[in-house]
Amino acid sequence: MAKKDIKDKAINWMEDWSNLKIFKNKNIKEILEYGGISLWWFIHPVLYFNIESIIRKIEKNENLSKEKIDKKIKVLFGPLFLNLKDKIRRKEPKLKKVSHIKNKKILIISSTRYWGEVGALISGKKEKGDILFDAIIKELKNQNFDVVCVDVDYNNKINLNILKEKLEKKWIPFEIYTPKKITLKAKLEIIKLKQIWVQLKKSNLFKDSLKYKEIRLWPLLKLRFEQIFSDSCIYRYIKIIETAENMIDKENPSCILMSFETGYYSLSSILIARERKIPSIGIQHGVISSSSQVYIRNKTTRSLRSLDCPIPDKLAVYGKYTKNLLTKRSHYPNDSVIITGQPRYDSLRKIDKELTRKNFFNKYSLNLNKKTVLITTQALNNFKERDDFLRNVIRSLKQINGIQIIIKPKPDEDVNFHKKILKEEKTVGTIIPKTSNIYEAINSADLIITVYSTTALEAMILKKNVLIINLGGERDQIPYVESGAALGVYKVEKILPTLKRMLNSKRPNKNLSKKRERFVYEQIYKNDGKSTKRVVNLIKSLLSKSNEKS
């Protein structure tokens, strides 16, 4: 089997295994049911990465004894850390009493990771905000909606600076809504699941179900399942459900909007809202691929009577490509996926390119006369692939005269990794802050290099040349190269000549510009600056239908 199929195999394995009867004629979704919600969908992403890693090793005939379960989850779900984090995030502010206002209330739930610089592209004015929802929030307020913004934090660190900035902007930490005492029902559920786990780990039926190509996976996954069924992990997820319920009951919104609608904070909110007949809308937060394991499902549900993967009532997506992927490759109902474009791209039509470029170069003391290469990094399959990508790109770039290197890490990356490689390769490069405005950097660059990041699409919107470098031997997750919209490199020795070609020619490929334009349309629809209004109109449409039913 080619390596390109590994992610698909892992996705299919997870789907098939989750439907097997492994305990008292129940599957894992049924075993982990709590109040009509299956905790399986909270746990799925954690287990998936172990399964993908194991399958990769089996297919490559690597030594499975080296497969290790990351013990950091014990810290992430450790009671001491969680209690400290919750206490800090609960400290302020105090919730106001819900007033009986005439305006419709929209509850927005978004992650800490989407906090960054907004509004600097047109006027040069610096402002912090939610990069996904900033334009939507302003438009909703302009139309006299009451908007309540709630911050959720998936990180295993406490982001005090971002928390302070969001509090100043009147965002409410999710933990503020945590009930003072966890319910008796939750305590009984923890006891029940602990008892089930004691029996499960003795069950041959359960252990034998964990197989790939007749290779027993139980010895490799035992620690992970111990962590999944631990008191702190179960308590964490149940606490989130209880908090989501309290939040929705206190705020009593007319509609809920969310980024990262596949995360456990959003899943809890979707299901609680559905019980109360409150419509929910997800906003696509990044490019979705055929290998996006949180989106590719054999079954999805908008029903309260199913334990299949819950989805929001509507998912506002970039364009036709994503809709086709979700409704054909995955199993989203056609009427649940609405093409709106991406609201945060509306401002790109008004960008003052020269002003933005000068401001960017001044900010980071860059040379306006040198060609600038922007590298946008991301978490790949493993540390080796990350190291190979950045190190080999740096080694090639330093052989070209008259260029300057910019590196933009993803929000969840450790910048010490980038600093270490620059130092070891004896290369000068500028690492810009994780919360900086990526569009300033893209607009100021002559070439953008990445593996499969959404920044490639954003560079194409700004008519920039993109080079995809994929040294992992795996298929490209997004068809940037296949569509002809970008050039691609898959071998180390091809990096330098391709870089020279792209940096020394305005037209490195005759049809690149036309194919890039076509690709952008398929991905983000019209790009007419009206995506924000289309999302707000979708909200109003759902509210109108909700009123008709009530």
- Tell me the average pLDDT across 142-171: 91
Within-domain flag for 22: no
Q: What is the pLDDT of residue 102?
A: 58
| 391 part of a folded domain | yes
pLDDT band at 261 (very low <50, low <70, confident <90, very high): very high
In a domain, 204, yes or no: no
Peptide bond into 433 cis (omega under 30): no
Q: Length of the chain in residues, anyone?
A: 550
Average per-residue pLDDT in the chain? 89
Average pLDDT of the residues in 34-57? 93
Rounded Cα–Cα distance for residues 212 and 351 (Å): 51
Q: Kindly state whether residue 306 falls inside one of the protein's structural domains.
A: no
Confidence of residue 75 (pLDDT cuts 50, 70, 90): very low
Q: Print burial letters for 302-338: b (CB count within 10 Å at least 16), e (below 16).
A: beeeebbbbbbbbbbbbbebbbebbeebbbbeeebbb
| Stronger pLDDT, 76 or 166, i.e. the higher one | 166
Res. 532: pLDDT tops 90? yes
Residues paired with 466 in a beta bridge:
448
Instruction: Report d(CA 261, CA 434) in Å as an integer.
Output: 22
Among 121-135, 411-425, 428-442, which stretch is predicted with the lowest mean pLDDT?
121-135
Query: Is residue 358 domain-resident?
Result: yes
Answer whether residue 489 is part of any domain. yes
The yes-or-no verdict on residue 42 having pLDDT over 80 is yes
- Residue 367's domain comprises 348-524
CATH number at residue 494: 3.40.50.2000
Single-letter amino acid, residue 525: Y
Q: In this structure, are residues 378 and 452 in contact, taking their beta carbons and an 8 Å threshold?
A: yes
On the CB side of 136, how many CA atoms lie within 13 Å of its CA? 34
Which of 180-184, 317-321, 501-505 is least confident? 180-184
Specify the number of domains making up the chain: 1
What's the pLDDT score for residue 94?
Answer: 60
Q: What is the pLDDT of residues 347-382, one digit of tens each?
A: 888 777 777 888 899 999 999 999 999 999 988 878
What is the rounded CA–CA span in Å between residue 69 and residue 224?
Answer: 6
pLDDT at 28 over 90: yes
Return the pLDDT at 73.
44
Nearest to 51 by CA among 22, 13, 18, 16: 13
Rounded to 5°, the CA angle 148-157-440 comes to: 70
**Integer Cα distance of 17 and 253 in angstroms:** 37
Residue 201 has a pLDDT of: 93
Residue 482 lies in a domain: yes
Q: Is residue 77's pLDDT more than 50?
A: no
Mean pLDDT of 222-246: 91
Decide: 478 and 488 in contact? Cβ < 8 Å: no
pLDDT per position as a tens digit, 490-503:
999 999 999 999 99
C-alpha 88, offset from chain centre:
24
- Percent share of the chain, pLDDT over 70: 90
Residues 221, 50: contact at Cβ < 8 Å? Answer: yes
80 found inside a domain: no
pLDDT score, position 99: 46
